[in-house]
Structure 1
Amino acid sequence: MLRGTLRALDAEQIDRLHDGALQVLERTGLQIQGEFLLRVLADAGCRVDFGQHRAWFRPDLVERQIEAQRDRYKMVRSSLWHPFCRETPADGIAAPEAFTVDYGFATPWIFDYPLRRYRKPTVEDQVDMIRLGQALPSVAAVNAPLICGDFDPRIEIIESARLLLLNTTKPGWVGTSSGREVKYLAELANLVVGGDRERLRTCPPIFVAAYCTTSPLKLDTRSCEVLEEALKYGFPVNFAPMPILGATSPITPAGSAVVAAAEILGCMTATTLLDPDVFYFSTSISAEMDMRTTQIRFCTPSAILTDVALHQLFREKYGLVHNVEPAYVEAKTPGIQAATMKVFRQMAFGSTVSLPLAIGALDNAAVFSPTQAMIDLEVNEAMHRFHRGMEVNDETLCLDLISELEFCTARTYLESEHTLKHFRNLGWNPRLFDRTACDHTAPVSLGDEKLLDEADRMWRELVAGQPPVEREKGFSAELERIVESARGELLRDT
């Protein structure tokens, strides 16, 4: 593995961010739409305005609660799931040992490449995309790829979880939209792990343990309702701000980092007062307001630097895991813009934070494209191989072979057994990119159409060749019981 990181902050700057976040919490506080959190803060001596759902935090309380969580939880992931690294190495970024990619972002749209348009996903789309994740060895966990438009929104999460469990043996998460869903997702998670409490405490499947704060300085009703229910099951807690530089937070990376840090620290302080024993970590997905178009941009230097600063603050000051999410890029369709933005964002994080490798997301993770996923897969393999670094030992130095072949007058390294033994493991051999010889006298075809056509064929072949998942009768029966129970409650008129 490569070693070292690029540092965005020195020790003095880290202390200033920390002090700034404490000042924000003391002077301005947070708006928290959960009375259970406000009450525990009031009991701890914080000033609370229950009518305004607002709490101000004592700096000493924040520091005490956060210090108690130091080094308790170490697993590293992208924003949500899958933990690809057991812990961040002391001398570098976190990266998977084996080639592992993030798959599935519960997007409300799918890009239909043959039709050249976006569509609302169907059940068939959901099943196909789950089966695609099942077919890819580098996908360690298949998250719900899509939000399925065929289902009633009140039960879509549970129905998508059912499809996930019927079509993959490596289920990741589905989204969570209300506190009423939590008990059913908890039952499904318990079914998957066979009652393994440690997995449920550290990396539960099905349930996505993320609570998005709303910049500036708010935790909304939905997040509070889900959090209150989820704490009953001991799931890990991930507070995840998404500041927008110049809109919902200051235009400067430092100012936005202070706002986001205050949100995380304040929410974590309140929740640890209530339950200090669950595991806590955080995530940020910072963006920047485009002042020409008013659109949100994630793939910008300032947005990325904000996330990097937050990671380095939480890692070095608090001993807490802080994750980043490379999947959010504003490219709308498969092709060169998407590939360029993804490589920039992932390489920036890969030199400063960690190397989660996402595939298939477009339009700031509002769209999933299996066609783009095939391109991302090949590019990500190159990034993984690069970060894996090189070995220096007798076998790789091959001094005897160099001495034997001398000036390659009789034969070359191409004919050697050493090359035959190692070329597959060391080489990068993408199927999609044209690396053939160039005929400079022939007409030139510009554009990505040939590559995109082949990428589209590739994913369809993978899905077509994927055998059905077989589940034990007992598993299937319990799955149907849980889902039917959820339908009975969640579809009931309210």
Structure 2
Amino acid sequence: SMEAALEFSKADVPVMFFGMPQPGATGPVTLAGSLVVNNAEVLGCLVITQLTCPGAPVIYGAGIAAFDMRTLKRAGGGPEHGLTGAAAAELASYYGMPSIVGGFVSTAKTPGAQACYEKFASGFPPVFSGCSMIAGIGLLDDCTTLAFEEILIDAEIVKMVFRIAQGIEVNDNTLALDIIRKVGPGGNFLAEKHTLQNLRREHFIPELTDRRSFEAWIKDGGKDLVKMAKEKVKVILQKHHVQPLEKEAQKEIKNIIKKAEKDLVAY
């Protein structure tokens, strides 16, 4: 993989070094200890890259999830993954590098409650640490399975997390003292221009989350989150039309593939 990274670096293509020590197995059981191992791996690769190709763009990566001693499996959806992702993002920031970590990951085998709470736990911390990129959207079974409906559910989770990270802005507009005086006691703000201007910026507007009454939900079939996501996937796939590549691009790609096939045969 280092040889491949150097070839990309020669072409000025950004490369990422994504350490994945598992605390308790391939790294110290302590999160700090495994972060040390990951940091050494990434910085070691960075030095080799820069000595070979000075100035080559490099991304600091980490996917440090706990090793489950009962199942002997990586626990990608655990809170440890979120914590180490946040720490790795801060280390990358310290070194002045962009970062990519695993997050919004789950060990659940199918979309559902476990997937939702694990993805929140593993994705929330790195967002708050200012991570440049987070990988895990749509993935299940610790990144071995991709589900279209999970992509939509994860998008909902991500938007919620980003809204929390946005925080509460405090200024003359958001304090809205003039509007409060105008409406007065007992009034409402539904028809105010201020509401229209600030609604989408201030409020999370869900696409899947059902906020209707129980009666309305039952009348509409009582669909759970996964069923709603599956139905939306079908609509997207039916309506979406893939834009074809330009003919010149298609020709160039075919030429690259032919050359690669010849090189592989020669090798």
Give the TM bin, normalised by the shorter chain: 0.7 to 0.9
Change in Cα spacing, 1:257 to 1:420, as seen in structure 2 (3 Å) is: closer
Choose which of 32, 41, 47 in structure 2 pairs with 1:269: 47
Of the structure 1 ranges 465-474 and 299-308, higher mean CA displacement relative to structure 2 is found in 299-308
Q: Which residue of 2 aligns with 1:164?
A: none
Cα separation, 1, equivalents of 2:89 and 2:214: 44
What pairs with 1:6-21 in structure 2 (closer than 5 Å)? none
Mapped contact 2:76–2:106 kept (Cα < 8 A): yes
Choose which of 338, 350, 353 in structure 1 pairs with 2:115: 338
What pairs with 1:35-434 in structure 2 (closer than 5 Å)? 223-316=1-94, 318-354=95-131, 356=133, 358-408=136-186, 411-434=187-210
Change in Cα spacing, 1:451 to 1:305, as seen in structure 2 (3 Å) is: closer
Cα separation, 1, equivalents of 2:3 and 2:47: 17
Mapped contact 2:19–2:41 kept (Cα < 8 A): yes
Uncovered stretches (5+) of structure 2, i.e. residues with no partner: none
Instruction: After superposition, give the CA deviation of every residue in 1:240-287 in whole Å (9 maximum; x if it has no partner).
Output: 210011111111112212222222222222332222221233211012
SS in 2 for 1:395: helix
Provide the TM-score with structure 1 as the length reference: 0.48
Cα separation, 1, equivalents of 2:140 and 2:104: 8
Change in Cα spacing, 1:355 to 1:394, as seen in structure 2 (3 Å) is: same
Matched, 1:452 2:229: no
SS in 2 for 1:245: coil
Cα separation, 2, equivalents of 1:422 and 1:352: 27
Q: Which residue of 1 aligns with 2:236?
A: 462
Matched, 1:471 2:245: yes
Instruction: After superposition, give the CA deviation of every residue in 1:10-52 in whole Å (9 maximum; x if it has no partner).
Output: xxxxxxxxxxxxxxxxxxxxxxxxxxxxxxxxxxxxxxxxxxx
SS in 2 for 1:283: strand
Q: CA deviation at 1:337?
A: 0.6
Provide the TM-score with structure 2 as the length reference: 0.85
Mapped contact 1:245–1:303 kept (Cα < 8 A): no
Q: CA deviation at 1:394?
A: 3.6
- Counterpart residue type for residue 157 of structure 2: V
Matched, 1:481 2:255: yes
SS in 2 for 1:413: coil
Q: CA deviation at 1:484?
A: 3.1
Q: Which residue of 2 aligns with 1:195?
A: none
- Counterpart residue type for residue 41 of structure 2: E
Cα separation, 2, equivalents of 1:477 and 1:272: 34
Change in Cα spacing, 1:232 to 1:351, as seen in structure 2 (3 Å) is: closer
Uncovered stretches (5+) of structure 1, i.e. residues with no partner: 1-222
Cα separation, 2, equivalents of 1:455 and 1:376: 10
- Counterpart residue type for residue 199 of structure 2: F
Q: Comparing both chains, which one has the higher relative contact order based on Cα–Cα distances under 8 Å and sequence gaps of 6 or more?
A: 1
Q: CA deviation at 1:355?
A: 7.0
Q: How many residues align?
A: 262
Change in Cα spacing, 1:482 to 1:356, as seen in structure 2 (3 Å) is: closer
Mapped contact 2:152–2:229 kept (Cα < 8 A): yes
- Counterpart residue type for residue 467 of structure 1: H
Cα separation, 2, equivalents of 1:285 and 1:388: 25
Mapped contact 1:327–1:365 kept (Cα < 8 A): no
Mapped contact 1:257–1:307 kept (Cα < 8 A): no
SS in 2 for 1:414: coil
Change in Cα spacing, 1:336 to 1:356, as seen in structure 2 (3 Å) is: farther
SS in 2 for 1:240: strand
Change in Cα spacing, 1:229 to 1:272, as seen in structure 2 (3 Å) is: same
